[in-house]
Amino acid sequence: MKIATWNVNGLRARMDYVLHWLQARQPDVVGFQELKMADEVFPTETFEALGYNVHVHGQKAWNGVAILSKQPASVTQTGLPGEQELGSRLITAQIGELSFTTVYCPNGKNLEHADYARKLQWFDALSAYMQPVVAASKHTVICGDFNICPTGLDSWDDGVQLGGMFHTDAERERMTNLYSLGLRDLYRAQHPDAQMFSWWDYRAGSFQRNHGLRIDFMLACANTQASSTEIDRDYRKKIDGLTASDHAPVITVLA
């Protein structure tokens, strides 16, 4: 089974690009983030025509997550319990024996902003939500845009940015809390020394200079094994005149 996660940074603006990617990569399950559209305008029929079952937890102009699955899927949760005021940021579906969750975690804005403390609180709620999910599921995957660089290897210049947004001890502690539930970072497990990024700012030639961050993750429980996990960097480039998201997809092939 090929599963993927992708922050599309506005599906309306990226639809043709996303369809190009789906045709090229043929994933079986996809978690999308940052849809920036409400459920009623989500292009469900277009994805269904490609053979996907579609489940959406959208929001007008902001946030929004969705799951596409070639197998039947049943939604078990929309929205992070207790944290719905921060928007549509979580959806979980059961796909056969796989519990699949995709998340768009809060950015936090900056260390002085009230949203930074709310981001930490949101992650505490995420760990509390995932604990029974991991315990009850034979196979568990949680993926998405986590807006945290867990280690210095996940940032193009951790020496300068250490202690800043995405690089704070408190944020990294929240990732460690997720790992402690029995989840592991599939990309890092397979590429322990690689410095590869999943997000690059549109400005200042960041992509061309490889000034990026690895903030998009595929986490899985111990008995959910992967034969490969890669960051699809080719789909951060302009293709056929179509502009990419500022995030690249992450693709895992489950063993």
Q: Tell me what pLDDT residue 166 has.
A: 97
State which amino acid sits at residue 95: I
Q: Tell me what pLDDT residue 160 has.
A: 85
The per-residue pLDDT for range 19-65, each reduced to its tens digit, is 999 999 999 999 999 999 999 999 999 999 999 999 999 999 999 99
Percent of the chain with pLDDT over 70: 100
Residue 23 CA to residue 123 CA, distance in Å, equals 34
Residue 82 CA to residue 241 CA, distance in Å, equals 42
Number of domains, the chain: 1
252 — pLDDT class (breaks 50, 70, 90): very high
Longest dimension (CA), the chain: 47
SS (H, E, C) the chain: CEEEEEECCCHHHHHHHHHHHHHHHCCCEEEEECCCCCHHHCCHHHHHCCCCEEEEECCCCCCCEEEEECCCCEEEEECCCCCHHHCCCEEEEEECCEEEEEEECCCCCCCCCHHHHHHHHHHHHHHHHHHHHHHHCCEEEEEEECCCCCCHHHECCHHHHCCCCCCCHHHHHHHHHHHCCCEEEHHHHHCCCCCCCCEECCCCCHHHHCCEECCEEEEEECCCCEEEEEECHHHHCCECCECCCCECCEEEEEC
The per-residue pLDDT for range 182-211, each reduced to its tens digit, is 999 999 999 999 999 999 999 999 999 999
Question: Which of 52, 104, 116, 129 is labelled catalytic?
Answer: 104
Mean pLDDT of 120-126: 98
Percent of the chain with pLDDT over 90: 99
Residue 81 CA to residue 74 CA, distance in Å, equals 18
| Catalytic site includes residue 129 | no
Share the mean pLDDT of the chain.
98
| Catalytic site includes residue 17 | no
pTM of the model: 0.98
The per-residue pLDDT for range 144-188, each reduced to its tens digit, is 999 999 999 999 999 889 999 999 999 999 999 999 999 999 999
Question: Which of 116, 145, 187, 235 is labelled catalytic?
Answer: 145
CATH code of 143's domain = 3.60.10.10
pLDDT at 103 over 90: yes
* Domain span at 159: 2-254
Q: Tell me what pLDDT residue 150 has.
A: 98
Mean pLDDT of 15-20: 98
